[in-house]
Amino acid sequence: MSEAKNRIIVALDVPTADEALRHIDELRNEVGAFKIGLQLITAAGTPFIREVVEDGVKLFLDTKFHDIPTTVAKASMEVARLGVWMFNIHASGGFEMMAQTVDAVRKVCSRDNLTKPKIIGVTVLTSSDQETLRQIGIVREVKDQVRNLALLSEKAGLDGVVASPQEVSLIRESISNPEFMVVTPGIRPSFAAADDQKRTMSPKEATQNGANLIVIGRPILQADSPIEAVRAILSEMDK
């Protein structure tokens, strides 16, 4: 698998397991991994997740946990037992929540001989802007809040963060560890519509700015031929 392929995570934002499985079958040799979010987790549940993982598919479970530290830590142990490659928690849940989660996941993985999933912190959702932050009492600029949460995630031992492509450079400038992963949604190849994404970047720009992994949904799943869409994205990235 080429370097560019490994960077692509397809967002399976579909309502049923059948639909998701069709996309996985078509694209599994073309991309690095698949993301399952709250809709499909809720609709299809853990039996579906287990089935996909047991079939050898790399899965990013977009759990976005945010609760008291012990609850998130325990839920995360169960996620680790599912055998997924990566999952995420909200960095705004705080240092203690993140650190306890890392500790609990490390312990369960070493005890049960499991591969530790990557744990990624959600910084500021791409749907949030200055006004959204102000409403919940955060007066910092979005970028400063992203930097703050990325630094806190690293301090708590997380493997990386999710952030908008606009914020990748500032995260790379603030965090010297080159292993720290930055995962970005809000990616639009040249041929795709922006949909509801406001601050987009092309796959090539995002990776040049330092994103390790790019999450792409509608430009692939809603294309007439998803496989051709992936190939067009890869050729844009290789240019």
Residues that bind ligand C5P (CB under 6 A): 11, 13, 37, 62, 126-127, 185-186, 195-197, 215-219
Q: Where are the beta strands (DSSP E) in the chain?
A: 8-11, 33-36, 59-65, 86-90, 118-122, 160-162, 181-184, 213-216
CB of 203 to ligand C5P, least distance (A): 11
What is the rounded distance in angstroms from the CA atom of residue 89 to the CA atom of residue 67? 9
Q: Which member of 5, 58, 64, 74 is catalytic? A: 64
CB of 99 to ligand C5P, least distance (A): 25
Helix/strand number for the chain, H first, E second: 11, 8
DSSP assignment, residue 167?
G
Nearer to ligand C5P (CB atom), residue 30 or residue 62: 62
Nearer to ligand C5P (CB atom), residue 104 or residue 214: 214
Nearer to ligand C5P (CB atom), residue 110 or residue 127: 127
3-class state of residue 14 by DSSP: coil
CB of 221 to ligand C5P, least distance (A): 7
Residue in the block written with tokens 């996620």: 79
- State yes or no: is 204 an active-site residue: no
Q: Which two tokens stand for residue 185?
A: 């949604």
Q: Which residue is nearest to ligand C5P (CB)?
A: 217
Nearer to ligand C5P (CB atom), residue 76 or residue 88: 88
DSSP assignment, residue 195?
T
The residues carrying an active-site annotation are 64
